[in-house]
Amino acid sequence: MTNISFLGTPLPLIQAPMASAQDARLAIAVGEAGALGSLPAAMLDAAGLERELRLLHASGRPYNVNFFVHTPPAPDAAREARWLRALAPYYAQFGLDPSPPAGDASRQPFSHEAAEVLEAFRPPVVSFHLGLPAPDLLARVKRMGSCVLSSATTVREALWLQAHGADAVIAQGLEAGGHRGHFLDKDPALQAGTATLLPQVVEALDIPVIAAGGITDAAGVRAAMAAGASAVQAGTVFLLCEEARTSAVHRAALQDPDAPTALTNLFSGGLARGIVNRVMREQGPVSEAAPPFPLATAVLSPLRAKAEAAGLGDFSPLWSGTNRRGCRTAPAADIVRTLACGFASG
């Protein structure tokens, strides 16, 4: 296979970074199959990041490292107590003591500490979710020679990313699983599906555009490339891969192709798409009681652990895009091969 894509990989295909569902193992398998594997770093400390980067670096393939770039909200005891009260009936049901959480924010924003770890590896691609880091941090990444990507959910966000230094923009349609990448247009009513968003972003930008959201087969890849995408980023379709770390309850939920998904803020405080489960049904997928991203996670964690121990995904984030048709339990290389057919000419 020859290098043909602007990503430095034979295929213009990115395995989406999926915090909580994978580590370097999936990214390496994807890289060996000719696509760009991604390492989600939002939930890694510096030591964990270094450990995973060593593995990726040793694979000898190009790879992407991904960070969230939110501004952590200030703690607010009254707000956190309100969230605890909303979930108190579940705590009682599980016999748990509803004491305030230890303050684990679960997802950390990109930092100078993380940049220092990156500098030893100079990753070929670095992607961001929720915008771009502050100019000094972004300049540090650029000095490493990394290609910088970030997600946009509207044309306005895509133009902002281009103007502020992104080398390519991921157009994230509403079908996408996991967290919305929005940072300017946070109302999902302003956001559109991939087939609508992608051509508008392609027309508006001078830099490459990567299509994301609901792409799980060769036909989806073909449609995205025909609409002007320079590459495709797919997440959900890799969740059942043997090399993924998707939990047992998450895998079980993903097997049902008809289970509905919804945008929810219950699991982190930020809007993200997942399969509808008990807590989403009973609290409503979006609750005003949930504290802002990423603070909602800590109060749900004890409930999640109890339920998962009983084999239930009632309190787990079951992240998934709207389209699960291509999901299957298989080596990641098989999924890459399936998607790669969409790039074949003729």
Which residues of the chain form contacts with ligand FMN (CB under 6 A)? 16-19, 21, 40, 42, 66, 129, 151, 172, 175-179, 212-215, 233-236, 319, 321, 323
Question: C-beta of 90: minimal distance to ligand FMN in Å?
Answer: 23
Q: Which residue's CB is nearer to ligand FMN, number 29 or number 90? A: 29
Q: Which two tokens mark 87?
A: 């979930």
CA distance 170 to 130: 11
Query: Which residues face 319 on adjacent strands?
Result: 274
Question: C-beta of 224: minimal distance to ligand FMN in Å?
Answer: 11
Q: Which residue's CB is nearer to ligand FMN, number 44 or number 80? A: 44
Q: Which two tokens mark 105?
A: 């924010």
Helix, coil or strand: residue 147 = strand
Q: Which residue's CB is nearer to ligand FMN, number 117 or number 215? A: 215
Q: Which residue's CB is nearer to ligand FMN, number 20 or number 90? A: 20
Question: C-beta of 274: minimal distance to ligand FMN in Å?
Answer: 8
Q: Which residue's CB is nearer to ligand FMN, number 31 or number 214? A: 214
| The length of the chain, given as a count of residues | 346
Cα 310–chain centre separation: 27
Q: In 3D, which of 21, 41, 17 has the Cα closest to residue 30?
A: 17
CA distance 194 to 207: 18
Question: C-beta of 10: minimal distance to ligand FMN in Å?
Answer: 20
Question: C-beta of 76: minimal distance to ligand FMN in Å?
Answer: 25
Query: Which residue lies nearest ligand FMN, judged by its C-beta?
Result: 235
Give how far Cα 42 sits from Cα of 11, 18, 20, 311, Å: 26, 9, 9, 26
41 with 243: CB under 8 angstroms?
no
CA distance 192 to 324: 19
- C-beta neighbour count of 113 within 10 angstroms: 11
Question: C-beta of 198: minimal distance to ligand FMN in Å?
Answer: 12
Q: Which residue's CB is nearer to ligand FMN, number 140 or number 180? A: 180
